[in-house]
Chains A and B, each alone.
Chain A
Amino acid sequence: MVPLSYYLILSGILFACGVTGFLIKRNIITIFMSIELMLNGVNLSFVAFAAQWHALSGQVFVFFVMVVAAAEAAVGLAIIIAVYRTRETLNVDQVNLLKL
């Protein structure tokens, strides 16, 4: 038996690592990976609460989160390729203009 709070704390640690990475990283791809880490942390708390309250719909929601994450990753990485093509850098500090 694992207390529910342990799962929630693990999920919180993952989410906090994701937020920290999002803020301190300067490479646009690593920032994108931090977002995926945050999504994973949230998914863990979804599954833990689903088990706690015997509601299978929590697991269905995780499935939907994964589908949206996959779509987001495909579009986001295409945007990263477009950014690199026009600016030839992946450093977000150098990508500070909407228009070239």
Chain B
Amino acid sequence: MISVHLIIFLIFGAVCVAGAINLLAQTHPINSALSLVVVMGALAVEYLLLGAEFVAAVQVIVYAGAIMVLFVFVIMLLNAGKEERTKGGSYVAMIVGIPGMLAGSVLVAWVLLTHSGTNSVAAGALPGSPTQLAPLLFHEFLLPFEVTSILVLVAIMGAVVLASHPNADQKKEKA
């Protein structure tokens, strides 16, 4: 029996995987960035399917919005062109790595399918609206929440210091 929920999951899961593979296949960083936006948008739909409304909204606003704009901005700023390939890479990595990774993925998929196949998650099984998340975020996890504010403050200062021009101070002193 195939439900509508499963069909939506499969469609957006396929979009997700296609975007992720396209990220690997593209050589220009701007194309990779745009496929990452597709992945994040499709993931937001998956979150909605799971009932996590707040997380879906934050995913679109923070990830697909803020973080990806930052990425595209930096790609444009640095005028990043096509990826250069370095010759003489390690063949051991290709000979051992790719079959090893395939074997690992098959093993993980087999374990997941055989040991958790009976459980299924209903659409909107756990409503995660802002009203339900707020008590958790502002009571139970109040300390981690406050710590993240310090983290973000430090990150802002670090980004400004790192990205500022090294000779900016000297120029000011001369002027």
Chain A residues within 8 Å of B, Cβ to Cβ: 1-10, 12-14, 16-21, 23-27, 29-30, 32-34, 36-37, 40, 43-44, 47-48, 50-52, 54, 56-57, 59-60, 62-64, 66-75, 77-82, 84-85, 90-91, 93
Q: Is the CB of A9 within 8 A of B141?
A: no
Q: Is the CB of B86 within 8 A of A26?
A: yes
Nearest CB in chain A to that of B35: its residue = A33
**Which applies to chain A's interface (DSSP): helix, strand, loop or mixed?**
helix
Whether A81 touches B163, Cβ cut-off 8 Å, given contacts A33-B36, A56-B133, is: yes
Q: Is the CB of B155 within 8 A of A74?
A: yes
Interface centre among A3, A30, A74, by most chain B C-beta atoms within 10 angstroms, is A30
Total cross-chain contacts (CB, 8 A):
229
Cβ–Cβ < 8 Å partners of A72 in chain B: 155
Whether A48 touches B80, Cβ cut-off 8 Å, given contacts A9-B109, A40-B43, is: no
Q: Is the CB of A9 within 8 A of B9?
A: no
Considering the complex of A and B, which 8 residue pairs feature the smallest CB-CB distances, nearest first? A71-B155, A78-B162, A17-B20, A78-B163, A78-B159, A1-B120, A93-B86, A51-B126
Nearest CB in chain B to that of A71: its residue = B155
Whether A33 touches B155, Cβ cut-off 8 Å, given contacts A26-B84, A44-B43, A51-B125, is: no
Q: Is the CB of B58 within 8 A of A63?
A: yes
Q: Is the CB of B39 within 8 A of A14?
A: yes
Whether A44 touches B46, Cβ cut-off 8 Å, given contacts A51-B52, A67-B152, A74-B156, is: yes
Q: Is the CB of A29 within 8 A of B74?
A: yes
Partner of B78 from A36, A60, A90 at Cβ < 8 Å? A90
Q: How large is the interface on B (under 10, 10 to 19, 20 to 34, 35 or more residues)?
A: 35 or more
Q: Is the CB of A27 within 8 A of B74?
A: no
Cβ–Cβ < 8 Å partners of A91 in chain B: 83-84, 86
Q: Is the CB of A74 within 8 A of B159?
A: yes
Query: Nearest Cβ in chain A — how far from B139, in angstroms?
Result: 11
Cβ–Cβ < 8 Å partners of B84 in chain A: 26, 91
A20 CA to B154 CA, complexed, in Å: 31
Partner of B32 from A20, A30, A71, A75 at Cβ < 8 Å? A30
B170 contacts the other chain (CB 8 A)? no
